[in-house]
């Protein structure tokens, strides 16, 4: 192949993106006394299982209305099904949900089975709250938990596999002793869902509402729950800039930080000075940092979530950090109640090193060989 033609098959795909104005700002009115919890970047089934369980305990105790701010589903989990992996960095085993899905049959069955598991996880959040669950799927171009890219990937792989299957079927039919191939990569006669709520089995769930990709929710006309599309270095900076652009109280995911800020600016000064009060919060993440090695350390600033309560039409809330104690277990505190994981989890990997000569049993393992997943 000459240098002139070797790159002709390379296609640079445009990364999808949408504005908040196009995606939509949905309005929600909540009465006094309503508790709200916002979570983001959970990345099921590679989520932080221990702390997600504790957050759902809090949601159940407080009977919160829950808003999911993008990244609830890990697109990399689906790629473990549909791609041949050749990776020398990430050698952690597939999650139980992925392994179960891979045992169900062909490509379509595996995708639908994993989608159903993801939907069951979403339903568990709603069940814990006992109230409505609002799901804002992500279309952020920098986000690894990008639900719109997941659907595009499924469609692209399905199309490629169907073409391959059709060729193999044609070759088999040309033989005099026609034998239908039993190991086809996909079934061209079957289609897969092109909507997220259908893929996750949530279309007919009355208490789970999947909104438009990249949209937002404006609560009581003042508090904007949204997925961010830019990062800043210091905690709180991104949410503050979002407030400067929009003039609304901000509860924002995506930045990988847990931060809360409360501030004032001056309004009318006649007949007396009047102050306007604002809040800006960054939600944090709930994915497993030990499993999600493909995300940068920049993205793992702090795990946590956000919670608040409506009082006189206003929302008073804060981002809740998750802190590791001296015994290795992690906890968070809301309204004086402590939620602690039963067993220390998500501890950084590593081992004790020594200057003594290494034996065969103590030598470091070689990089994992590439493994193929059909």
- Write down the pLDDT at residue 369: 42
Q: Please report, for residues 76, 207, 212, 373, the alpha-carbon distance to residue 140 in angstroms, rounded to integers and kept in the order given.
A: 16, 25, 13, 28
Q: Please report, for residues 95, 290, 315, the alpha-carbon distance to residue 350 in angstroms, rounded to integers and kept in the order given.
A: 21, 11, 43
pLDDT confidence tier of residue 374, bands split at 50, 70 and 90: very low
The β-bridge relationship of strands 223-227 and 249-253 is parallel
Would you say residue 370 has pLDDT above 50? no
Would you say residue 59 has pLDDT above 80? yes
Token pair of 338 as six digits = 């402590």
Would you say residue 194 has pLDDT above 60? yes
- Write down the pLDDT at residue 282: 96
Main-chain phi, psi angles of 331, to 5 degrees: -145, 165
Question: How many other C-beta atoms can be found within 10 angstroms of the C-beta atom of residue 42?
Answer: 28
- Write down the pLDDT at residue 260: 96
Would you say residue 321 has pLDDT above 90? yes
Q: Please report, for residues 68, 131, 320, 372, the alpha-carbon distance to residue 284 in angstroms, rounded to integers and kept in the order given.
A: 12, 23, 9, 34
Give the residue with greater pLDDT, 239 vs 139. Answer: 239
Whole-number percent of the chain with pLDDT over 90: 59
Q: What is the pLDDT of residues 210-238, one digit of tens each?
A: 999 999 999 999 999 999 988 888 889 99
Give the residue with greater pLDDT, 372 vs 187. Answer: 187
Biggest CA-to-CA distance, the chain? 96
- Average pLDDT rounded to a whole number, residues 72-88: 80
Q: d(Cα 27, Cα 221) in Å, to the nearest integer?
A: 7
Q: What is the pTM of this model?
A: 0.88
Q: What is the pLDDT of residues 332-366, one digit of tens each?
A: 999 999 999 999 999 988 889 999 998 776 555 54
Would you say residue 142 has pLDDT above 60? no
DSSP string, 191-251: ---SSHHHHTT-TT-TTEEE--TT-EEEETTTEEEEE-S---SSTTHHHHHHHHHH-SEEE
Highest mean pLDDT among 83-97, 159-173, 292-306, 344-358: 344-358
Q: d(Cα 306, Cα 80) in Å, to the nearest integer?
A: 31
Least confident segment among 64-78, 132-146, 205-219 = 132-146
Strand locations in the chain, DSSP E?
A: 25-28, 35-39, 65-69, 133-136, 208-210, 216-219, 223-227, 249-253, 259-266, 275-282, 304-311, 314-321, 323-324, 330-334, 337-340
Q: d(Cα 213, Cα 68) in Å, to the nearest integer?
A: 12
Residue 238's contacts (CB-CB under 8 Å, 6 or more residues apart) are 228, 230, 231, 232, 252, 255, 257, 282
- Average pLDDT rounded to a whole number, residues 97-117: 94
The β-bridge relationship of strands 323-324 and 330-334 is antiparallel
The β-bridge relationship of strands 65-69 and 35-39 is parallel
Q: d(Cα 128, Cα 68) in Å, to the nearest integer?
A: 14
Main-chain phi, psi angles of 242, to 5 degrees: -60, -40
Token pair of 1 as six digits = 């192949």
- Write down the pLDDT at residue 372: 40
- Average pLDDT rounded to a whole number, residues 57-68: 97
Main-chain phi, psi angles of 106, to 5 degrees: -80, -175
Average pLDDT, the chain: 87
What are the residue boundaries of the structural domains of the chain, listed by start? 34-218+288-340
Q: What is the pLDDT of residues 154-188, one digit of tens each?
A: 998 999 888 888 887 787 777 765 666 666 788 88
The β-bridge relationship of strands 304-311 and 35-39 is antiparallel
Q: Starting from the edge strand earliest in sequence, which strands make up the sheet with 330-334, in order?
A: 323-324, 330-334, 337-340
């Amino acid at each position: 192949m000459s240098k002139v033609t070797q790159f002709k098959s390379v296609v640079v795909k445009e990364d999808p993106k949408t504005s908040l104005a196009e995606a939509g700002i949905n309005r929600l009115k909540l009465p006094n006394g309503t508790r709200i919890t916002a979570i983001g970047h959970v990345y099921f089934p590679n989520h932080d299982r221990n702390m997600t369980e504790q957050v759902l305990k809090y949601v159940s105790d407080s009977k919160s209305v829950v808003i999911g701010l993008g990244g609830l589903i890990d697109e990399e989990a689906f790629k473990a099904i549909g791609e041949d992996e050749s990776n020398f960095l990430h050698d952690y085993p597939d999650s139980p949900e992925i392994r179960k899905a891979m045992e169900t049959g062909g490509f379509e069955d595996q995708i639908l089975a994993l989608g159903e598991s993801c939907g069951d996880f979403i339903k568990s959040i709603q069940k814990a709250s006992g109230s409505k669950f609002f799901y804002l799927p992500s279309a952020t171009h920098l986000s690894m938990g990008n639900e719109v890219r997941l659907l595009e990937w499924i469609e692209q792989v399905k199309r490629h596999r169907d073409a391959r299957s059709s060729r193999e079927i044609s070759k088999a039919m040309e033989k005099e002793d026609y034998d239908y191939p039993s190991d086809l990569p996909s079934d061209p006669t079957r289609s897969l869902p092109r909507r997220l709520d259908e893929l996750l089995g949530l279309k007919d769930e009355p208490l789970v509402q999947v909104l438009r990709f990249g949209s937002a929710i404006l609560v009581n006309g003042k508090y904007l729950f949204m997925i961010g599309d830019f990062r800043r270095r210091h905690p709180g900076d991104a949410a503050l800039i979002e407030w400067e652009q929009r003039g609304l109280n901000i509860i924002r995911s995506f930045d990988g930080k847990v931060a809360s800020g409360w501030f004032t600016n001056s309004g009318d000064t006649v007949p007396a000075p009047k102050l306007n009060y604002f809040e800006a919060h960054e939600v944090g993440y709930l994915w497993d940092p030990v499993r999600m090695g493909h995300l940068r350390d920049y993205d793992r600033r702090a795990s946590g979530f956000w919670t608040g309560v409506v009082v006189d039409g206003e929302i008073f809330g804060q981002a809740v950090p998750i802190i590791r104690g001296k015994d290795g277990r992690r906890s968070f505190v809301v309204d004086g109640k402590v939620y602690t994981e039963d067993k220390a989890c998500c501890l950084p990997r590593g081992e004790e090193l020594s200057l003594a000569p290494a034996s065969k049993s103590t030598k470091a393992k070689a990089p994992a060989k590439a493994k193929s997943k059909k």
